[in-house]
Amino acid sequence: MRSIFLVALKKIIIFTIFFYQFSVFATEQQKDPLNSPSWNEMHKIILNAEPVIFDDRIEVSIPSFAEDPTNVPITIKVKDIKKIEEIIVFADLNPIQKVLSFKPFNIKPSLSFRIKVEQSTPVRAGVKTSDGIWHVGGRWLEAAGGGCTAPSLSSGVVNWHETLMDISSRVWVRDDNSSRFRFRIMHPMDTGLAPGIPEFFIEEITIFDASRLVIGEIITYQPISENPVFTVDTYPDTQTPVQLKGSDTNGNRFDTKL
């Protein structure tokens, strides 16, 4: 009887130690490596309080200091993560935190663009996989500030509406027949935070291949810079030319081949 009791006690002790170690590991996994004062709120608001892993396979490339807070270059690259459903980019300490959502259906999970920032802030990319887990990477961006509350340059130009939604682009084809596409859309991208200027921004960009198959989708928000420029990379089997279709908050639309 005593031996049975000792065996049971030993199992309980082993289980308790294992559970404690697992809890400590889980806690460490959730600890924000950037020590942002707003991380818990971002986890709840942006990532719906769903499971998170801080992951070095997500590269967020930004300058060490934002010389122009209205036009900060950002590049997101995701390496060796499969079954990606969505990539969300957000800036913890911006007045409008969510920057964009990118769904790489049949396009490489990398994207370059420019954003507006109001102050120094962590800039992050959350990558959601099919198992419901968010893989998060990011870096601190140092900035003097004021980018989100500054009026767009277009607001001071009388005939700005004549070039609204005009698109210019450039295409590079690699040796493996994959491609890089860079395109600019003429748009003021007003945040609504500048006095007397209402919000007015591009809401969605859908990317098609030559057969009109949707290969990617970008949902954009106010912090994207004026006259936004995006760079995307396709796989070798993508049928070109790539086509874009999208709209803004006032119902203006575009549909063009690159």
| Burial track 114-151 (b if 16+ CB lie within 10 A, e otherwise) | bbbbbbbbbbbbbbbeeeeebbbbbbbbebeeebbbbb
**What are the E-state strand segments in the chain?**
52-54, 58-61, 65-66, 72-78, 84-91, 98-103, 110-115, 121-129, 134-143, 167-173, 179-185, 202-208, 214-220, 229-233, 243-248, 253-257
Structural domains in the chain, sorted by start: 32-253 (2.60.40.2470)
Q: pTM for the complete prediction?
A: 0.87
- pLDDT, one tens digit for every residue, the chain (258 residues): 555 544 454 545 444 443 333 333 343 446 999 999 999 999 999 999 999 999 999 999 999 899 999 999 999 999 999 999 999 999 999 999 999 999 999 999 999 999 999 999 999 999 999 999 999 999 999 998 899 999 999 877 889 999 999 999 999 999 888 999 999 999 999 999 999 999 999 999 999 999 999 999 999 999 999 999 999 999 998 888 899 999 999 999 999 998
Beta strands 52-54; 110-115: pairing state: unpaired
Number of residues in the chain: 258
The sign of the dihedral angle between the CA atoms of 23, 123, 139, 144 is: negative
